[in-house]
A and B are shown apart, each in its own frame.
Chain A
Amino acid sequence: MVLRSYLKEIRLQKGLTQESLAGVIGVTRQTIIAIEKGKFVPSVKLALELAKALGQPLEQVFWLEASQEDRS
């Protein structure tokens, strides 16, 4: 299973920059970039903080998707 997110879409919808979102939850801008690109899987705590900062339920921001290995 791989973690997918609508983080970028929701962030842009809310008119937030990567830097401002990073500032709200106290992480680096590079961490926001890495999560948006799917290169970093955040902890449950950070995922909940992101969802809260964006005013969305967690499952609206992140979800699990079956990977190629899971399908075969």
Chain B
Amino acid sequence: MTGMSLYYLSRAVISAAFGLLFALTGSPWWVAALIGVIAFAFFLWAPHSGRYAVHPELGVTALRRDERTQGINDRSARNAFIVTMLAVAGATLYFGRYTPAVVPVSFFNYLLILGVLTYYLSDFLQRRSA
């Protein structure tokens, strides 16, 4: 098996496993199948997206970041970390001052979402400008 075959085969297995995970956690079968199909569609698109350097000779790990995209990834991760930590610091001050020992659990979900959004926004803006 040569070229990109190993990459596509491995991603088909990962997509199926991803769908199965959803099925096992109680999702309807059609939702699980849809998730698997969407995941595989992403893996089909990735080599043509321009976001990764394609090395067919590497088989399963054919997609790699090059130095520019690695730099974008590093800066996005740093930005997300800083924003999340600042939000945690702000929340610590706020809850410590006004409602000590009462921190809603859902607040941590929002912090995680904020971090993820910051990462992808930062990634998007850097790719557009460079």
The complex places the Cα of A46 from the Cα of B129 at a distance, in Å, of 20
**Which residues in B have their C-beta under 8 angstroms from that of A2?**
none
- Closest B-chain residue to A46, C-beta based? B67
Residue among B64, B67, B68 with most chain A CB within 10 A: B68
Q: For the complex, would chain B's binding face be called helix, strand, loop or mixed by DSSP majority?
A: mixed
Q: Which of B24-32, B49-57, B80-88, B109-117 contacts A (4 or more CB under 8 A)?
A: B49-57
In the complex, A43 has a CB within 8 A of chain B:
yes
The complex places the Cα of A14 from the Cα of B88 at a distance, in Å, of 54
**Which residues in B have their C-beta under 8 angstroms from that of A1?**
none
* Total A-B contacts with CB atoms under 8 angstroms apart: 38
CB <8 Å contact, A31 and B66: yes
Interface size class of A (residues with CB under 8 A): 10 to 19
Knowing that A27-B67, A31-B67 are A-B contacts, what are 15 other residue pairs whose CB atoms are under 8 Å apart, sorted by A's residue number?
A: A23-B54, A26-B66, A27-B68, A28-B50, A28-B51, A28-B69, A29-B50, A30-B51, A30-B68, A30-B127, A31-B68, A39-B130, A40-B130, A42-B67, A46-B67
